[in-house]
Chain A
C-alpha cells in the first residue's frame, strides 16, 4: 500500500514538474529570421521580374493547388481542378495539385511550399485561412490565396470569398417558377453557415416568387453518401415536393436520381448537371471557379496580386447558368431580373443564423 501511494505521488509530482518545465519554456513560435527583403508579390512589377530568373513569356511559375478533398467529387474540389486545367490550357502554365490535405498538415504544407520558393499557393477552402495567416509572414515571396475566405493579410495572404448564397437564391427562383405543388425540398451536406445560408437563400427566393411555397430543408451530413441523398430526396418527393435542390457535392447525384425516379424536377448546382438526368434537371447554377483561378494566375503574371480579401457573387462573374433547352423564357427573365438585383446589392443575405 505504501508503495502504491508513493507511486501515485511520484506520478503527480512528475506531471507537475513536466508542466512547470513547459510553463517556463521558450515562448511559442519565435519570429522567423528576417527574410531577405524581397518585395511581396503585390505591387512593384519591376522588382517581381527581377526576383525571378528572367525567361521568355512561357514562364516557369511554380504554382500549387491544395485541395481538402478529391478532385472527382462533383463539386467544390472538382471545380478547382477544372480551374487548374483552364490555367494550363489558356495560360500555358502547369499547376501542381495535392488532394485530401488534412487539417493537421496545413501549416506543414504551407511551410514546405514557402521554403521551396513557390510563387503562388492556392488553398481551396476557408479552413486553410488560419494556417495561411500563421505561415505566410515567414515566406513573403510566396503568395497564399485562400479560396472562399473573405479576408487577407499583409503582405502575402489573399482571399476570394464566393457568395454561395447568391447561387442558392437563383436556384430558388428557378424552382419557384416550376413547382405545381408549391412544395420543394432543399438538401444540404452539413449545417455549416455557408451551406445553411445557401438553403435559406433558396427558400427566400422561392417564397419571393410565391409566398405560399413551402421548403423542407434537411442535412445528410456527408459529401459522398449518395444513397442517403437519394433516400432523402425520395422522402421529400413522397411528401409532396416536386422540385429538389441539393448543395452537397456528390450527394446531389443521389437526389437527382431520386427526382428522376419519382418524376419530379431538380436544380443542378456547382457542376453543370443538366446531362446527369435530361428532362429532370431544370437547369444548373454553376460556379465559374475555373475562371477565378485563371484570373488569379493572371494577376500573378501581371504582378497585381493583392493581399486582401474579396467577396464575389454574380456581379463578378463567378456564378453562371447552364440552361437546358426547354426552360421557359419566363423563368429566364425572372432569373436575370433577380441576378440584376443581386448585382446591384439590393438583396440581403437571408441567412437566418443559429
Chain B
C-alpha cells in the first residue's frame, strides 16, 4: 500500500500520488515491453514479424472461449503453489518444494481416484482432495521437521525433495501403477466420478480454479484473521522475540511447512482430477517455480498471488498461441518467457527505488 504523503502545502504532491499508483501498473508493462523488444530481435533473425507474433502472444488468449478458459486452467496450480510459497514465506520460511509437494498430492489423488473412483462424485472427490492435502502436508512436513530438529536449511531439503518426488512418480508409473494395457508409463484413468466437473462447458475450465481461489481466501483468513496465523507470522518476523513470548519455534516451523505443503498438494489434486485424470511422468512442468514467481510478483499476499498467477497463465497460453499462430519455435518462446519473468521481477524490485527517486525530486522542487 502506498503511504499517503501529507504535504499539505501545494498541489504538486497530488500528481505524485497518482504516479505511485500508476507505477504499479506501468513498471511491469514497461518490463514486458522490454522483454518483447529483445525477443523481437531474435524473431527478426528468423524472418518472423514480431508484431504478428506478439499480437498472438497478447490477444491469442482471447480468440475464443476455449483459449480464454485455458488461462484459468493454467493458472490454477500456479495459484496453489504460489499460496504454498506465500504461506511459508509469511512465517519466515522458504518453501522451494512446491513442485515436489504437488507431486506428492498428485500421487495420493491418483491412488484414491483409482480405488474409489466408482463411488459417488462427492465422496471420491472429497477423499481425493483430502488425500492430496495430507500427502502434500507430509512432503512439506519432513523438511520442516528436519529444520526444526536439525536446523537443516529448508531451501536445500525442499529442493532435494522435489527430485525425490519426481523420481518416485517415475517409478510408480513405470512399475506398480502402470496402466493395464501397459503401453505407456502412466496409470489407468481414475474413475469417472473423480473427474472434476467443468465450470464452463466446452472448455477445460474445471472447478479446480474455484477451489484455488477459495484456498487463497482461506490462507488470507488464517494468516491475517486468526490468532493462530498471527502467531505463525510473528515467528516469521522475529523468531527470538516470538520464542521469548512462549511460542515454540520448532512446532511453528513444522506446522507452517505442513500447511504450506498441503496447499501445494492441492495443486496435484487439481491437475490430476481436473486435467490429466491419470498420473504420468513430468506432468505440469515447472508449476512449482511458476508459483514462486507468482508469489514474488504478488508481494506474497493471497490476492496478489491470484492475480499474478492469472497473468502467468496468460503468458503460457499466449506463448502457445504464438507458437501455433506464427510458427515461433519453442526455443524463442523459452527465451521470451524467461526474459519476461526476469524483467518483471526486476521491475518489481526496482519500483521502490523509482518511487524514492520521484519523492526526492519533488522535495527538491518544493
Write the nearest CB–CB distance from B93 to chain A, whole angstroms.
20
Are B122 and A99 in contact (CB-based, < 8 A)?
no
Measured between beta carbons, the chain B residues less than 8 angstroms from A14 are 214, 218
Write the nearest CB–CB distance from A208 to chain B, whole angstroms.
26
Question: Which among A7, A64, A70, A103 is the interface contact of B330 at CB below 8 angstroms?
Answer: A70
Measured between beta carbons, the chain A residues less than 8 angstroms from B204 are 107-108
Interface centre among A33, A96, A126, A353 (most CB of B within 10 A): A96
B148: CB under 8 A from chain A? no
**What per-residue 1/0 map shows which CB atoms of B240-276 lie under 8 Å from chain A?**
0000000000000000000000000000000100011
B352: CB under 8 A from chain A? no
Question: Which among A7, A20, A32, A112 is the interface contact of B222 at CB below 8 angstroms?
Answer: A7
B195: CB under 8 A from chain A? yes
Number of B interface residues in the complex (CB < 8 A)? 54
Measured between beta carbons, the chain B residues less than 8 angstroms from A103 are 276, 280, 282-283
Are A3 and B182 in contact (CB-based, < 8 A)?
no
Measured between beta carbons, the chain B residues less than 8 angstroms from A112 are 66-67, 320-321, 324
Q: Which residue of A lies closest to B278 (CB)?
A: A130
Number of A interface residues in the complex (CB < 8 A)? 49
Write the nearest CB–CB distance from B235 to chain A, whole angstroms.
15
Are B66 and A108 in contact (CB-based, < 8 A)?
yes
Write the nearest CB–CB distance from A187 to chain B, whole angstroms.
18
Are A126 and B184 in contact (CB-based, < 8 A)?
yes
Are B218 and A11 in contact (CB-based, < 8 A)?
yes
Are B182 and A193 in contact (CB-based, < 8 A)?
yes
Knowing A28-B197, A103-B276, A108-B66, say if A19 contacts B125 (CB, 8 Å). Answer: yes
Question: Which among A7, A32, A70 is the interface contact of B202 at CB below 8 angstroms?
Answer: A32
B185: CB under 8 A from chain A? yes
Are A26 and B201 in contact (CB-based, < 8 A)?
yes
**Docked pose: A30 CA to B222 CA in angstroms:** 37
A102: CB under 8 A from chain B? yes
Are B320 and A99 in contact (CB-based, < 8 A)?
no
Are B126 and A16 in contact (CB-based, < 8 A)?
yes
Are B207 and A22 in contact (CB-based, < 8 A)?
yes
Residue numbers of B with Cβ under 8 A of A are 64, 66-67, 70, 120-123, 125-126, 129-130, 133, 174-175, 178, 182-185, 192, 195-199, 201-202, 204, 207, 210-211, 214, 218, 222, 226-228, 271, 275-276, 280, 282-285, 317, 320-321, 323-324, 327, 329-330
25 CB < 8 A contacts A-B: A3-B227, A11-B218, A18-B129, A20-B122, A22-B125, A23-B121, A24-B122, A26-B197, A26-B198, A26-B201, A28-B197, A29-B198, A64-B324, A70-B330, A102-B285, A103-B282, A104-B276, A104-B284, A108-B70, A109-B324, A111-B66, A113-B324, A126-B183, A127-B184, A192-B185
